[in-house]
Structure 1
Amino acid sequence: MTMQIEFVYFDLGNVLVSFDPEIACRNFAELAGVSADRAREVIYESGLQDRYESGEITSRSFTQTLREVLQLDADRLPQDQVLDAISDMFTPIDSMVPVVEFARRSAGRVGVLSNTCPAHWRWVRKQPWPVSQIDYDVRILSCEVMSMKPDGKIYEAAEKAARVRPDRILFIDDKPENVEAAAQRGWRAEQCLGGEQAKAVIEGFLGGK
Protein backbone atom coordinates (compact mmCIF):
# COMPACT_ATOMS: atom_id res chain seq x y z
CA MET A 1 0.00 0.00 0.00
CA THR A 2 1.31 3.45 -0.91
CA MET A 3 2.09 5.49 2.21
CA GLN A 4 2.27 9.26 2.59
CA ILE A 5 6.04 9.54 2.84
CA GLU A 6 7.82 12.89 2.49
CA PHE A 7 11.39 11.93 3.37
CA VAL A 8 13.42 8.74 2.93
CA TYR A 9 16.56 7.98 4.95
CA PHE A 10 18.98 5.30 3.80
CA ASP A 11 21.60 3.61 5.96
CA LEU A 12 25.05 3.50 4.35
CA GLY A 13 26.58 0.11 5.20
CA ASN A 14 24.90 -2.90 3.58
CA VAL A 15 22.25 -0.66 2.03
CA LEU A 16 24.17 1.72 -0.24
CA VAL A 17 27.54 -0.01 -0.02
CA SER A 18 28.57 -3.40 1.31
CA PHE A 19 31.60 -3.75 3.56
CA ASP A 20 33.87 -6.35 5.13
CA PRO A 21 35.74 -5.41 8.35
CA GLU A 22 38.03 -8.39 7.87
CA ILE A 23 39.44 -6.68 4.79
CA ALA A 24 40.08 -3.57 6.87
CA CYS A 25 41.89 -5.70 9.44
CA ARG A 26 44.07 -7.32 6.80
CA ASN A 27 44.85 -3.95 5.23
CA PHE A 28 45.90 -2.46 8.54
CA ALA A 29 47.79 -5.60 9.56
CA GLU A 30 49.93 -5.37 6.40
CA LEU A 31 50.59 -1.67 6.99
CA ALA A 32 51.48 -2.08 10.67
CA GLY A 33 53.33 -5.38 10.38
CA VAL A 34 51.03 -7.22 12.78
CA SER A 35 48.65 -10.13 12.46
CA ALA A 36 45.07 -9.67 11.30
CA ASP A 37 43.94 -10.94 14.71
CA ARG A 38 45.97 -8.23 16.41
CA ALA A 39 44.58 -5.61 14.05
CA ARG A 40 41.03 -6.73 14.83
CA GLU A 41 41.77 -6.59 18.53
CA VAL A 42 43.15 -3.05 18.56
CA ILE A 43 40.62 -1.56 16.12
CA TYR A 44 37.35 -3.33 16.81
CA GLU A 45 37.48 -5.45 19.94
CA SER A 46 39.02 -2.63 21.97
CA GLY A 47 36.07 -0.38 21.17
CA LEU A 48 38.33 2.13 19.38
CA GLN A 49 36.32 2.03 16.15
CA ASP A 50 33.09 2.64 18.06
CA ARG A 51 34.67 5.64 19.79
CA TYR A 52 35.70 6.97 16.39
CA GLU A 53 32.25 6.45 14.88
CA SER A 54 30.53 8.06 17.85
CA GLY A 55 32.60 11.22 17.46
CA GLU A 56 34.30 10.71 20.82
CA ILE A 57 37.72 10.87 19.17
CA THR A 58 39.09 12.51 16.02
CA SER A 59 40.95 10.91 13.13
CA ARG A 60 44.18 12.17 14.65
CA SER A 61 43.35 10.66 18.06
CA PHE A 62 42.31 7.39 16.44
CA THR A 63 45.62 7.09 14.62
CA GLN A 64 47.68 8.18 17.61
CA THR A 65 46.00 5.60 19.83
CA LEU A 66 46.91 2.85 17.36
CA ARG A 67 50.52 4.04 17.34
CA GLU A 68 50.68 4.04 21.13
CA VAL A 69 49.09 0.61 21.51
CA LEU A 70 51.35 -0.95 18.89
CA GLN A 71 54.39 1.11 19.89
CA LEU A 72 54.94 2.37 16.36
CA ASP A 73 55.85 5.90 15.30
CA ALA A 74 54.35 8.16 12.65
CA ASP A 75 56.85 6.97 10.04
CA ARG A 76 55.50 3.43 10.35
CA LEU A 77 51.86 4.50 10.65
CA PRO A 78 51.23 7.69 8.64
CA GLN A 79 47.74 8.96 9.36
CA ASP A 80 46.53 9.06 5.75
CA GLN A 81 47.66 5.49 5.14
CA VAL A 82 46.06 4.26 8.37
CA LEU A 83 42.72 5.86 7.48
CA ASP A 84 42.82 4.50 3.94
CA ALA A 85 43.71 1.03 5.21
CA ILE A 86 40.71 0.83 7.53
CA SER A 87 38.42 2.31 4.88
CA ASP A 88 39.32 0.31 1.78
CA MET A 89 36.77 -2.40 2.54
CA PHE A 90 33.66 -1.13 0.78
CA THR A 91 31.96 -2.37 -2.38
CA PRO A 92 29.32 -0.31 -4.19
CA ILE A 93 25.72 -1.47 -4.48
CA ASP A 94 25.19 0.56 -7.62
CA SER A 95 21.70 -0.87 -8.16
CA MET A 96 20.71 1.47 -5.32
CA VAL A 97 21.21 4.56 -7.47
CA PRO A 98 17.87 4.23 -9.30
CA VAL A 99 16.23 3.25 -6.00
CA VAL A 100 17.38 6.48 -4.35
CA GLU A 101 16.39 8.47 -7.44
CA PHE A 102 12.93 6.90 -7.38
CA ALA A 103 12.59 7.67 -3.67
CA ARG A 104 13.49 11.31 -4.32
CA ARG A 105 10.98 11.63 -7.16
CA SER A 106 8.24 9.97 -5.12
CA ALA A 107 8.85 11.38 -1.64
CA GLY A 108 10.56 14.66 -2.46
CA ARG A 109 13.72 14.46 -0.35
CA VAL A 110 16.26 11.80 0.65
CA GLY A 111 19.07 11.50 3.16
CA VAL A 112 21.71 9.19 4.56
CA LEU A 113 21.57 8.17 8.23
CA SER A 114 24.63 6.17 9.19
CA ASN A 115 26.86 5.01 12.00
CA THR A 116 30.19 5.86 10.43
CA CYS A 117 33.49 7.63 11.00
CA PRO A 118 35.07 10.51 9.06
CA ALA A 119 37.56 8.20 7.33
CA HIS A 120 34.93 5.78 6.04
CA TRP A 121 32.59 8.53 4.87
CA ARG A 122 35.34 10.42 3.03
CA TRP A 123 36.67 7.24 1.44
CA VAL A 124 33.27 6.18 0.12
CA ARG A 125 32.43 9.66 -1.15
CA LYS A 126 35.69 10.01 -3.10
CA GLN A 127 35.22 6.78 -5.03
CA PRO A 128 34.14 7.04 -8.69
CA TRP A 129 31.13 4.80 -8.13
CA PRO A 130 27.68 6.06 -9.15
CA VAL A 131 26.37 5.31 -5.67
CA SER A 132 29.12 7.49 -4.17
CA GLN A 133 28.01 10.49 -6.23
CA ILE A 134 24.44 10.65 -4.90
CA ASP A 135 23.57 14.16 -3.79
CA TYR A 136 21.67 13.80 -0.51
CA ASP A 137 19.38 16.50 0.79
CA VAL A 138 20.44 15.65 4.36
CA ARG A 139 23.28 13.65 5.87
CA ILE A 140 23.21 12.49 9.47
CA LEU A 141 26.45 10.78 10.48
CA SER A 142 27.06 9.40 13.95
CA CYS A 143 30.54 10.93 14.10
CA GLU A 144 29.09 14.39 13.45
CA VAL A 145 26.10 14.28 15.80
CA MET A 146 28.03 12.29 18.44
CA SER A 147 25.39 9.60 18.73
CA MET A 148 25.10 6.13 17.24
CA LYS A 149 22.00 4.22 16.24
CA PRO A 150 19.97 2.98 18.03
CA ASP A 151 20.51 5.84 20.50
CA GLY A 152 17.66 8.34 20.38
CA LYS A 153 19.81 11.43 19.88
CA ILE A 154 20.78 10.52 16.31
CA TYR A 155 17.13 9.99 15.35
CA GLU A 156 16.19 13.30 16.93
CA ALA A 157 18.83 15.03 14.81
CA ALA A 158 17.50 13.27 11.72
CA GLU A 159 13.93 14.36 12.46
CA LYS A 160 14.95 18.00 12.85
CA ALA A 161 16.94 17.89 9.61
CA ALA A 162 14.10 16.22 7.67
CA ARG A 163 11.61 18.87 8.81
CA VAL A 164 8.62 16.56 8.43
CA ARG A 165 6.44 14.64 10.87
CA PRO A 166 7.99 11.38 12.10
CA ASP A 167 5.26 9.31 10.45
CA ARG A 168 6.19 10.86 7.09
CA ILE A 169 9.76 9.49 7.30
CA LEU A 170 10.73 6.14 5.78
CA PHE A 171 13.98 4.58 6.97
CA ILE A 172 15.87 1.65 5.43
CA ASP A 173 18.52 -0.07 7.59
CA ASP A 174 20.07 -3.53 7.74
CA LYS A 175 19.98 -3.90 11.53
CA PRO A 176 16.76 -4.78 13.39
CA GLU A 177 17.64 -2.76 16.50
CA ASN A 178 18.07 0.38 14.41
CA VAL A 179 14.79 -0.16 12.62
CA GLU A 180 12.98 -0.81 15.91
CA ALA A 181 14.35 2.40 17.43
CA ALA A 182 13.07 4.38 14.46
CA ALA A 183 9.67 2.69 14.58
CA GLN A 184 9.33 3.54 18.26
CA ARG A 185 9.60 7.20 17.28
CA GLY A 186 6.77 6.82 14.80
CA TRP A 187 8.86 6.48 11.65
CA ARG A 188 8.03 4.04 8.88
CA ALA A 189 11.05 1.76 9.06
CA GLU A 190 12.05 -1.50 7.39
CA GLN A 191 14.99 -3.84 7.79
CA CYS A 192 16.57 -4.94 4.53
CA LEU A 193 19.79 -5.02 2.55
CA GLY A 194 20.51 -2.90 -0.50
CA GLY A 195 19.66 -3.95 -4.02
CA GLU A 196 16.49 -5.85 -4.77
CA GLN A 197 15.35 -5.99 -1.14
CA ALA A 198 15.52 -2.22 -0.76
CA LYS A 199 13.90 -1.69 -4.15
CA ALA A 200 10.94 -3.83 -3.13
CA VAL A 201 10.55 -2.00 0.19
CA ILE A 202 10.71 1.44 -1.40
CA GLU A 203 8.20 0.52 -4.08
CA GLY A 204 5.94 -1.02 -1.46
CA PHE A 205 5.79 2.22 0.47
CA LEU A 206 5.93 4.70 -2.39
CA GLY A 207 4.34 2.81 -5.24
CA GLY A 208 6.00 2.22 -8.59
CA LYS A 209 6.64 -0.62 -10.96
Structure 2
Amino acid sequence: MPITAVVFDIGRVLIEWEPERFYDNLIGEARRKALFAEVDLHGSNLDVDRGAPFRETIYTLADQHPDWSDEIRHWHDSWIQMASPGIPHSARLLRALRAKGVPVYALTNFGAETFVIAQTTYPFLREFDQTFVSAHLRCIKPDAEIYSELEAGTGRRPDELLFTDDKPENITAAAVRGWKTHLFDKPDTWAARLVAEGLLTEEEAR
Protein backbone atom coordinates (compact mmCIF):
# COMPACT_ATOMS: atom_id res chain seq x y z
CA MET A 1 0.00 0.00 0.00
CA PRO A 2 1.49 3.39 -0.96
CA ILE A 3 1.99 6.05 1.69
CA THR A 4 -0.90 8.51 1.63
CA ALA A 5 -0.15 10.56 4.77
CA VAL A 6 2.78 11.52 7.00
CA VAL A 7 2.71 11.69 10.80
CA PHE A 8 5.11 13.89 12.76
CA ASP A 9 6.06 13.77 16.40
CA ILE A 10 6.83 17.30 17.64
CA GLY A 11 9.38 17.36 20.49
CA ARG A 12 12.91 16.84 19.16
CA VAL A 13 11.49 16.51 15.65
CA LEU A 14 9.97 19.94 14.92
CA ILE A 15 11.07 21.82 18.03
CA GLU A 16 13.91 21.14 20.41
CA TRP A 17 13.05 19.82 23.86
CA GLU A 18 16.05 19.98 26.20
CA PRO A 19 15.14 20.52 29.88
CA GLU A 20 18.55 19.27 31.01
CA ARG A 21 20.29 21.88 28.87
CA PHE A 22 18.06 24.60 30.30
CA TYR A 23 18.83 23.60 33.89
CA ASP A 24 22.55 23.20 33.17
CA ASN A 25 22.57 26.84 32.08
CA LEU A 26 20.42 27.89 35.03
CA ILE A 27 22.06 26.08 37.97
CA GLY A 28 25.03 24.18 36.57
CA GLU A 29 25.35 20.55 35.55
CA ALA A 30 26.16 19.18 39.00
CA ARG A 31 23.12 20.75 40.68
CA ARG A 32 20.93 19.80 37.74
CA LYS A 33 21.94 16.17 38.11
CA ALA A 34 21.15 16.34 41.83
CA LEU A 35 17.76 17.93 41.11
CA PHE A 36 16.78 15.36 38.51
CA ALA A 37 17.95 12.50 40.73
CA GLU A 38 15.80 13.69 43.64
CA VAL A 39 12.75 15.07 41.82
CA ASP A 40 10.85 13.23 39.08
CA LEU A 41 10.34 16.20 36.80
CA HIS A 42 9.97 14.08 33.70
CA GLY A 43 7.37 11.94 35.45
CA SER A 44 5.34 15.02 36.35
CA ASN A 45 5.66 16.19 32.77
CA LEU A 46 4.15 12.89 31.62
CA ASP A 47 1.23 13.54 34.00
CA VAL A 48 0.72 16.85 32.20
CA ASP A 49 0.93 15.04 28.87
CA ARG A 50 -1.83 12.72 30.11
CA GLY A 51 -4.06 15.72 30.79
CA ALA A 52 -3.18 16.93 34.30
CA PRO A 53 -3.29 20.74 34.74
CA PHE A 54 0.10 22.23 34.00
CA ARG A 55 0.62 24.90 36.65
CA GLU A 56 -1.06 22.95 39.44
CA THR A 57 0.98 19.82 38.72
CA ILE A 58 4.35 21.58 38.69
CA TYR A 59 3.64 23.92 41.59
CA THR A 60 2.36 21.03 43.72
CA LEU A 61 5.60 19.18 42.99
CA ALA A 62 7.54 22.30 44.04
CA ASP A 63 5.64 22.43 47.33
CA GLN A 64 6.59 18.79 47.95
CA HIS A 65 10.30 19.59 47.52
CA PRO A 66 10.92 22.90 49.30
CA ASP A 67 14.70 22.65 48.87
CA TRP A 68 14.19 22.74 45.11
CA SER A 69 10.97 24.74 44.88
CA ASP A 70 12.34 27.67 42.86
CA GLU A 71 14.07 25.38 40.40
CA ILE A 72 11.00 23.17 39.95
CA ARG A 73 8.71 26.14 39.26
CA HIS A 74 10.92 27.02 36.32
CA TRP A 75 9.50 23.92 34.59
CA HIS A 76 6.27 25.89 34.38
CA ASP A 77 7.45 29.48 34.35
CA SER A 78 10.28 29.00 31.82
CA TRP A 79 8.78 26.11 29.86
CA ILE A 80 9.13 27.64 26.40
CA GLN A 81 12.86 28.08 26.97
CA MET A 82 13.13 24.29 27.36
CA ALA A 83 11.13 23.83 24.15
CA SER A 84 13.36 26.05 22.03
CA PRO A 85 14.37 26.68 19.37
CA GLY A 86 12.38 25.32 16.46
CA ILE A 87 14.01 22.99 13.94
CA PRO A 88 13.67 24.94 10.67
CA HIS A 89 14.46 22.15 8.21
CA SER A 90 11.80 19.91 9.75
CA ALA A 91 9.26 22.73 9.51
CA ARG A 92 10.17 23.20 5.85
CA LEU A 93 9.57 19.50 5.23
CA LEU A 94 6.14 19.72 6.85
CA ARG A 95 5.24 22.64 4.60
CA ALA A 96 6.71 21.00 1.51
CA LEU A 97 4.56 17.91 2.04
CA ARG A 98 1.44 19.99 2.44
CA ALA A 99 2.32 21.98 -0.68
CA LYS A 100 2.42 18.66 -2.55
CA GLY A 101 -1.04 17.79 -1.23
CA VAL A 102 0.21 15.11 1.17
CA PRO A 103 -1.88 15.09 4.37
CA VAL A 104 0.27 15.73 7.41
CA TYR A 105 -0.75 14.85 10.97
CA ALA A 106 0.80 15.44 14.39
CA LEU A 107 0.90 12.68 16.99
CA THR A 108 2.43 14.09 20.13
CA ASN A 109 2.79 13.69 23.87
CA PHE A 110 1.98 17.23 24.95
CA GLY A 111 0.07 19.04 27.67
CA ALA A 112 -3.05 20.97 26.72
CA GLU A 113 -1.73 24.29 27.98
CA THR A 114 1.82 23.78 26.78
CA PHE A 115 0.60 22.93 23.30
CA VAL A 116 -1.18 26.29 23.09
CA ILE A 117 2.06 28.00 24.18
CA ALA A 118 4.01 26.07 21.55
CA GLN A 119 1.51 26.89 18.79
CA THR A 120 1.73 30.57 19.69
CA THR A 121 5.52 30.50 19.53
CA TYR A 122 5.81 28.24 16.47
CA PRO A 123 3.03 29.02 13.94
CA PHE A 124 3.89 25.95 11.83
CA LEU A 125 2.38 23.83 14.60
CA ARG A 126 -1.00 25.16 13.47
CA GLU A 127 -0.49 23.87 9.93
CA PHE A 128 -1.21 20.16 10.35
CA ASP A 129 -4.25 18.71 8.64
CA GLN A 130 -5.13 17.08 11.96
CA THR A 131 -3.46 17.12 15.36
CA PHE A 132 -3.60 14.34 17.94
CA VAL A 133 -2.43 15.63 21.33
CA SER A 134 -2.06 13.21 24.23
CA ALA A 135 -3.58 15.56 26.83
CA HIS A 136 -6.73 15.92 24.73
CA LEU A 137 -6.98 12.17 24.20
CA ARG A 138 -5.99 11.20 27.77
CA CYS A 139 -3.49 8.63 26.52
CA ILE A 140 0.17 8.83 25.55
CA LYS A 141 2.66 7.18 23.25
CA PRO A 142 3.64 4.36 23.20
CA ASP A 143 0.21 3.14 24.38
CA ALA A 144 -1.68 1.45 21.54
CA GLU A 145 -4.76 3.57 22.20
CA ILE A 146 -3.26 6.81 20.91
CA TYR A 147 -2.26 5.23 17.59
CA SER A 148 -5.75 3.81 17.26
CA GLU A 149 -7.16 7.29 17.86
CA LEU A 150 -5.21 8.64 14.89
CA GLU A 151 -6.27 5.78 12.62
CA ALA A 152 -9.92 6.27 13.53
CA GLY A 153 -9.74 10.06 13.36
CA THR A 154 -8.12 10.16 9.93
CA GLY A 155 -9.70 7.09 8.38
CA ARG A 156 -6.26 5.92 7.26
CA ARG A 157 -5.11 2.32 7.21
CA PRO A 158 -1.93 1.65 9.19
CA ASP A 159 0.08 0.74 6.10
CA GLU A 160 -0.78 4.10 4.50
CA LEU A 161 1.01 6.05 7.23
CA LEU A 162 4.66 7.09 7.50
CA PHE A 163 5.52 8.15 11.05
CA THR A 164 8.63 9.83 12.43
CA ASP A 165 9.47 10.08 16.13
CA ASP A 166 12.72 10.40 18.08
CA LYS A 167 11.92 7.64 20.61
CA PRO A 168 12.48 4.01 19.60
CA GLU A 169 9.63 2.75 21.81
CA ASN A 170 7.15 5.03 20.04
CA ILE A 171 8.39 3.87 16.65
CA THR A 172 8.15 0.23 17.68
CA ALA A 173 4.56 0.65 18.88
CA ALA A 174 3.60 2.15 15.52
CA ALA A 175 5.44 -0.51 13.52
CA VAL A 176 3.63 -3.28 15.40
CA ARG A 177 0.38 -1.81 14.07
CA GLY A 178 1.69 -1.84 10.51
CA TRP A 179 2.70 1.81 10.20
CA LYS A 180 5.79 2.64 8.17
CA THR A 181 8.26 4.34 10.46
CA HIS A 182 11.38 6.47 10.61
CA LEU A 183 13.41 6.94 13.80
CA PHE A 184 14.22 10.65 13.74
CA ASP A 185 17.80 11.64 14.43
CA LYS A 186 18.22 14.77 12.29
CA PRO A 187 16.26 16.54 9.57
CA ASP A 188 18.64 15.51 6.79
CA THR A 189 17.97 11.80 7.17
CA TRP A 190 14.23 12.41 7.49
CA ALA A 191 14.36 14.45 4.30
CA ALA A 192 16.20 11.62 2.56
CA ARG A 193 13.52 9.15 3.66
CA LEU A 194 10.75 11.38 2.27
CA VAL A 195 12.64 11.55 -1.03
CA ALA A 196 13.20 7.78 -1.05
CA GLU A 197 9.48 7.22 -0.56
CA GLY A 198 8.69 9.48 -3.54
CA LEU A 199 6.86 12.03 -1.40
CA LEU A 200 9.26 14.90 -2.14
CA THR A 201 11.95 15.65 -4.68
CA GLU A 202 15.49 16.36 -3.49
CA GLU A 203 14.96 20.05 -4.22
CA GLU A 204 11.69 20.12 -2.27
CA ALA A 205 13.32 18.36 0.67
CA ARG A 206 16.15 20.82 1.14
Say whether the fold is shared (TM-score over 0.5). Answer: yes
2:77 to 61, 77, 84: 84
Q: 1:141 to 1:169 in 2, by over 3 A?
A: same
1:68 aligns with 2:63: yes
- What corresponds to 1:48 in structure 2? 44
Contact kept in structure 2, 1:9 and 1:169, CA below 8 Å? yes
- Which 5+ residue runs of structure 1 have no aligned equivalent? none
**Contact 1:88–1:123 (Cα < 8 Å) also in 2:** no
CA–CA distance in 1 between the matches of 2:34 and 2:110? 22
8 Å contact from structure 2 (residues 55, 76) kept in 1: no
Is 1:112–1:139's contact at 8 Å kept on the other side of the alignment? yes
> Which residue of structure 1 aligns with residue 2 of structure 2?
4
> Normalising to structure 2: TM-score of the pair?
0.80
Of 106, 109, 112 in structure 2, the residue corresponding to residue 112 of structure 1 is: 106
**Structure 1: which amino acid aligns with 2:133?**
L
- Tell me how large the CA RMSD over aligned residues is: 2.9
Return the alpha-carbon distance in structure 2 between the equivalents of residues 107 and 196 of structure 1: 21
Does the CA-based 8 Å contact 1:87-1:119 persist in structure 2? no
Partner of residue 183, structure 1: 175
How far did residue 194 of structure 1 move?
4.2
- Alpha carbons 2:5, 2:104 under 8 Å: kept: yes
Question: Residue 169 of structure 1 aligns with which residue?
Answer: 161
Aligned-residue sequence identity (percent) comes to 27
Q: Which has the higher helix share?
A: 2
Contact 1:84 / 1:123 at 8 angstroms: preserved in 2? no
Determine if contact 2:8/2:106 at 8 Å carries over to the other structure: yes
Separation (CA, whole Å) in 1 of partners of 2:186 and 2:114? 18
The change in CA–CA distance for 1:84 and 1:4 in structure 2 (over 3 A counts) is: farther
SS in 2 for 1:147: coil
Q: Which runs of 5+ in 2 are unaligned?
A: none
Q: Structure 1 5/16 Cα, relative in aligned 2: closer, same or farther at 3 Å?
A: same
Q: Which has the higher contact order (CA 8 A, sep 6+)?
A: 1
SS of equivalent residue, structure 1 residue 95: helix
The aligned amino acid for 1:189 is T
1:156 corresponds to which letter in structure 2?
S
Contact map agreement 2:6 2:162 (CA 8 A) in 1: yes
CA distance in 1, matches of 2:105, 2:27: 34
TM-score, L = length of structure 1: 0.79
User: Compared with structure 1, are the counterparts of its residues 131 and 39 closer, same or farther at alpha carbon in structure 2 (3 Å cutoff)?
Assistant: farther
The residue identity in structure 1 corresponding to 2:164 is I
Counterparts of 2:48 and 2:34, CA distance in 1: 18
Equivalence for 2:89: 95
Contact 1:16 1:94 in 2 (8 A): yes
- Are the equivalent residues in 2 in contact too, given 1:24–1:87 (CA < 8 A)? no
